Amino acid sequence: MSAPLKIAIAGLGTVGAGTLKLLSTNAEVIAAKCGRPISVTAVSARERTKSRGVDVSAIRWFDDPAAMANEADADVIVELIGGAEGAARKTVDAALAKKRHVVTANKALLAHHGVALATTAEKSGLTLAYEAAVAGGIPIIKALREGLAGNTIQRVYGILNGTCNYILTTMRATGRDFVDVLKEAQSLGYAEADPSFDVDGVDAAHKLAILASVAFGTEVDFKGVHVEGIRRITALDITYAEQLGYRIKLIGLGARTNGGIAQRVYPCLIAPDSPLAAVEGVFNAVVTEGDFVGRSVLEGRGAGAGPTASAVVADLIDIASNRRVPTFGVPVAALKKLKTVPVAERVGAYYVRLVVLDRPGVFADIASAFRDASVSMESVLQRGRNANAQVNVVIITHDTQEASLVRALQKLEANAAVVEPPHMIRIERFPAP
């Protein structure tokens, strides 16, 4: 058997501890698959005495992860710190400067600096691997770069954030509202104390920017992702969606269009027979559509110690086995500049909910606003007159350009009979199995 692959791990949180445990528990299986053992020679974290459920007493300790990247006896630096800047960026930069391979689970780092880091790695003949950065234990990066490499990918979309999926699933199952379910998710450890990155769609947008690059052979362009979260989704919207034959999910969608690449993260209504509708709780799923393979669906746990560690170790096995592919599927020089299609150019159907005063002439005003913006209504529902003589009006539109619908809603918002800002949710049609 060949000499061990020596690795150093920066960050001993949930994923770091899980990686150590997996490497220890499955050491024989891993060595058999890559022809040599994987040996942890150094670790770094903020608190040395913290209990992590794994014994690190025999492993060289570094307080500074960047110093570890410079000084440790290691072939690979595993960065599990997180964040686009700070210690994570310094550690990866130091590792590449010292001609060490890098494995990371850091989606923010790659979304913001992926092309620059890939350029540095490529010039030195190094691997920059990141299966764990997108969808946890789902091997979607390997699927896109290798298994589907012969295809032109037309669309890649999915549920990319388990926190949001748990919240929306629980809201639908219990009828409770967003704030209440968010508190529960925090108490269960599914949401952070500051949940903004999750519930505002940023985490999913980081992952989508990476997926779009690998799927379409374009430069990573996080700034080109249109991002909306789930804070405005109410239990009422979920109820109406169910009555209309839909479910609400936070979806990340990348697609080739005639005008360029669309990159969008937003809550949307999807049909219950679409491949994502049955993905519940903290699970993730990613769907790819290729010109020859057709549609592929991968589903699994998108976070957690075991699934994410599984992805980290898969990358380490590739390095130990001398298997290499370009970071984003093609050499950096071949990555195309991404031309982003603005969301205002989206054409599709929409769900619109208005809260209006129940008085004569209101429906005529609504119809007039939609007519003047060239938006056609497919169906209209009126629900629930309250003590203030207010009713919810729910409209499903025919396919229309988003810019046109926005004009209609702006006109309605200025109408004194519309007592709340109009609420719009996009309808995405994904093919049934």
- Six-digit token pair at 108? 């923010």
Is 207 annotated as catalytic? Answer: yes
**Which position among 90, 207, 249, 411 bears the catalytic label?**
207
What do you get for the CA distance between the two ends of the chain, in Å?
Answer: 46
Burial degree of 310 (CB within 10 A; 0-12, 13-18, 19+): buried
3-state per-residue secondary structure call for the chain:
CCCCEEEEEECCCHHHHHHHHHHHHCHHHHHHHHCCCEEEEEEECCCCCCCCCCCCCCCEEECCHHHHHHHCCCCEEEECCCCCCHHHHHHHHHHHHCCCEEEECCHHHHHHHHHHHHHHHHHCCCCEECHHHCCCCCCHHHHHHHHCCCCCEEEEEEECCHHHHHHHHHHHHHCCCHHHHHHHHHHCCCCCCCCHHHHCCHHHHHHHHHHHHHHHCECCCHHHCEECCCCCCCHHHHHHHHHCCCEEEEEEEEEEECCEEEEEEEEEEECCCCCCCCCCCCEEEEEEEECCCEEEEEEEECCCHHHHHHHHHHHHHHHHCCCCCCCCCCCHHHCECCCECCHHHCEEEEEEEEEEECCCCHHHHHHHHHHHCCCCEEEEEEECCCCCCEEEEEEEECCEEHHHHHHHHHHHHCCCCECCCCEEEEECCCCCC
Active-site residue list: 207
